[in-house]
Amino acid sequence: LKSERPRLHQRLQALKNNIDRPLAAILTLNTVAHTAGAAGVGAQVGVVFGDGYLAIASTVMTILILVLSEIVPKTIGAKFWRSLAPFLPAILNFMILSLRPFIWLSDKLTKQIGGGEPDIDVRSEIKALATLGNEQDIIDADERRVISNILDLHTIRVRDVMTPRTVCESVRPDETISEFLYRVKSLPYSRFPVIDADEEPYGLILRNEALESESDKQVSELTRPIEVVSEYVDVETVMTQFLQSRQHMAVVYDEHGSWLGLLTLEDIIETILGQPIMDETDTIPSLRRYAQQRWGKRLKPEPTKNPES
């Protein structure tokens, strides 16, 4: 509508931006019509048929008002709103102009009672719409999950999705290229963090660049910058940093300066998708779960042997 009929879009947008005014006009006219109609019909029934028929007249009027002025108009509006949209601005603006005193009074009362603008949780509304769309088979479960996960990225901390240090492979800056390549030859990764003996981040090195380099060079000569993030930063912020700096990896540190693990762009994508991304070289679906299992095995107590009697 904005591109096809810009003037109509502008007029409808103006009504939407001040939604209280058209609503007040519609409700005022609706209430006046109901009250005046019921009073007029009741008076005529009393004159023509007598007071004994007032109860019957009230029942019939209630049904007619409910059907003809509530159910039918709202059903038509819900089904044919696109066809009716071109006529609405003129009608609503005429009603607003005609009922200006009532709208002014309604606006004053609303501001006194309601205060400022209401807080609207747009994220929850979008997630509710996605859930509704899934229930009505408009979108599938995967699409609903992706929408929900994207909207929750600002609440997820780096520590919740990072790859733990215990299953990461880091490189020292003073290693030679040949030592580095020999040590990581069986690993499927394309980039490695370079961290010195004091756990200070030095950068990252790409396997492809190391393969093309001289074997006696040191790793420090081929390092590239690497992002450094706190474990408490939200994932949405780190994803923005990755996109702006065109990086794929960040070293995660705690408040004491110890490095805890790595966060990669793949980790963030897996968080959005809600499932791990695996290729033909991956043998472990979740390195986080693998690290927890390894640590759990270490914590298991050794079985005690019964002393010989």
What pLDDT digit, counting tens, does each position of 240-288 carry?
999 998 888 999 999 888 889 999 888 899 889 887 655 544 444 444 4
Q: Report if residue 210 sits inside a domain.
A: yes
* Pair (262, 240) in one structural domain: yes
Q: Report if residue 207 sits inside a domain.
A: yes
Q: Report if residue 104 sits inside a domain.
A: yes
Q: Report if residue 266 sits inside a domain.
A: yes
Per-residue pLDDT band for 294 (boundaries 50, 70, 90) equals: very low
> Which of 47-56, 60-69, 106-115, 210-219 is the most confident on average?
210-219
Per-residue pLDDT band for 80 (boundaries 50, 70, 90) equals: confident
Residue, of 35 and 107, whose pLDDT is higher: 35
What per-residue confidence (pLDDT) applies to 119? 62
- DSSP H/E element including 201: strand 201-206
Average pLDDT over residues 108-127: 73
Average pLDDT over residues 134-139: 89
* Pair (196, 266) in one structural domain: yes
* Pair (164, 231) in one structural domain: yes
Q: Report if residue 304 sits inside a domain.
A: no
What per-residue confidence (pLDDT) applies to 303? 52
* Pair (140, 197) in one structural domain: no
- Token pair, residue 17, equals 């931006």
Per-residue pLDDT band for 114 (boundaries 50, 70, 90) equals: low
Per-residue pLDDT band for 297 (boundaries 50, 70, 90) equals: very low
* Pair (102, 160) in one structural domain: no
The least confident of 76-80, 123-127, 234-238 is 76-80
What per-residue confidence (pLDDT) applies to 290? 45
What pLDDT digit, counting tens, does each position of 162-214 carry?
888 887 888 899 889 999 898 888 777 888 999 988 888 888 999 888 888 88
Q: Is the pLDDT of residue 39 over 90?
A: no
What per-residue confidence (pLDDT) applies to 118? 57
What is the C-alpha to C-alpha distance for residues 298 and 41, in angstroms, rounded to an integer? 86
- Per the listing, tokens 């609903």 go with 144
Domain that holds residue 181: 155-299
Q: Is the pLDDT of residue 232 over 90?
A: yes
**Residue 184 sits in a domain of what CATH number?**
3.10.580.10
* Pair (34, 15) in one structural domain: yes
Contacts of 210 (CB under 8 A, 6+ apart): 177, 180, 181, 219, 222
* Pair (291, 168) in one structural domain: yes
Average confidence score pLDDT of the chain: 81
What is the C-alpha to C-alpha distance for residues 182 and 159, in angstroms, rounded to an integer? 31
What is the C-alpha to C-alpha distance for residues 287 and 294, in angstroms, rounded to an integer? 10
Q: Is the pLDDT of residue 104 over 60?
A: yes
* Pair (273, 258) in one structural domain: yes
Average pLDDT over residues 19-43: 83
pLDDT over 90 for what percent of the chain?
Answer: 15
Angle at 28 between CA 73 and CA 93, to 5 degrees: 75
Q: How many domains does the chain have?
A: 3
* Strand 259-264, strand 163-164: pairing: antiparallel
The least confident of 142-156, 239-253, 259-273, 293-307 is 293-307
8 A C-beta contact, residue 22 and residue 15: yes
* Pair (24, 65) in one structural domain: yes
Which of 114, 135, 170 is a domain's end point? Answer: 114
